[in-house]
Amino acid sequence: MITGSMVALATPMKADGAIDWDALRHLVGWHLEHGTDAIVAAGTTGEPTTMSFAEHFDVIRTVVETVNGRVPVIAGTGANATAEAVELARYAKEVGADYCLSVTPYYNRPTQEGLYQHFKAVAQACDLPVIMYNVPSRTGVDLYNETAHRLAAIDNIVGLKDATGNLERAEDLIERLKGHDFALYSGDDPTACEFMLAGGHGAISVSANVAPRAMHELCVAATAGDYDRAHQINTRLMPLHSVLGIEANPIPVKWALNQLGLMESGIRLPLTWLSERYQSTVAEALQLAGVMDQ
């Protein structure tokens, strides 16, 4: 089981939208130097829905090769077609990823039984451990706690990233799964601290893109139950957590990474570069979080 801060890695792109492979390798190395506990390649923040299959595969492979076993790599392999999700998971296994992160099928709006059968099929088709990902605000479908609990009984399904931001729900799921060898990760930075203090195992974080050391320290404190230390760090990071959602992810975080000199100003349509009216707000949050001084 992975614990700690897992960065939902943004994919560096050049101004014309082409993937910047050198910047991607440099960014992965920067995370390894700054304490990130695991790297999610081609997750939502990495813009996989705008990539060709070849690009998606190459991002996963490049991250695995650059990490070279130093921390776990979680490959984003979700798709709204079950067969496609299986193909992506099999490729991630082939190139050496440690886990796959599989989002609930978006747009199709499956039933709870459909969700169960989807994740079961992915888990049974590939022996790469599966972390499910529930983010109803993006997908239009919600994986209920009862269904997640049912899926946790499948050997190859090892965890859940919960991005609902609903702490009552999180506490219910944590209670249901006590005693199970099953990881629960926050996918919502503003509530991640409380999620972990309630018994969660870590965070798959957007904020970790620009504040890797602080997010690592927050996760260490919170998963250890150190309330005072965790809240101290989280208070400093809260302005950053908030503004990185000021426009759709990864728009604000890619602008922030550009300001840190870690990538060019590339993002793919239909997403656009951060609106000028929000740029000073994001810059101020970076300053308040101490990011500009790392």
Q: Which residues are catalytic?
A: 133, 161
Q: Of the candidates 91, 32, 99, 36, which has an alpha carbon nearest to the alpha carbon of residue 67?
A: 32
Cα dist from 66 to 56, 74, 123, 253, whole Å = 16, 13, 26, 22
Query: CB neighbours (10 Å) of residue 22?
Result: 8
Q: Measure CA 192 to chain center.
A: 12
Locate tokens 């998963």: which residue? Answer: 223
Length of the chain: 294
Cα angle for residues 214, 12, 24 (degrees, 5° grid): 75
Alpha-carbon gap, residue 134 to 70, rounded angstroms = 27
Alpha-carbon gap, residue 78 to 157, rounded angstroms = 14
Residue pair 21/268 in contact by the 8 Å Cβ criterion: no
Alpha-carbon gap, residue 285 to 288, rounded angstroms = 5
Alpha-carbon gap, residue 200 to 193, rounded angstroms = 9
- The answer to the question of whether 39 is labelled as a binding residue is no
Q: Which two tokens stand for residue 120?
A: 């079961």
Look at strands 4-8 and 73-76 and give their pairing: unpaired
- The answer to the question of whether 246 is labelled as a binding residue is no
Which residue type, as a one-letter code, is found at position 105? P
Task: State the binding site.
Answer: 45, 204
Task: State the binding site for pyruvate.
Answer: 45, 204
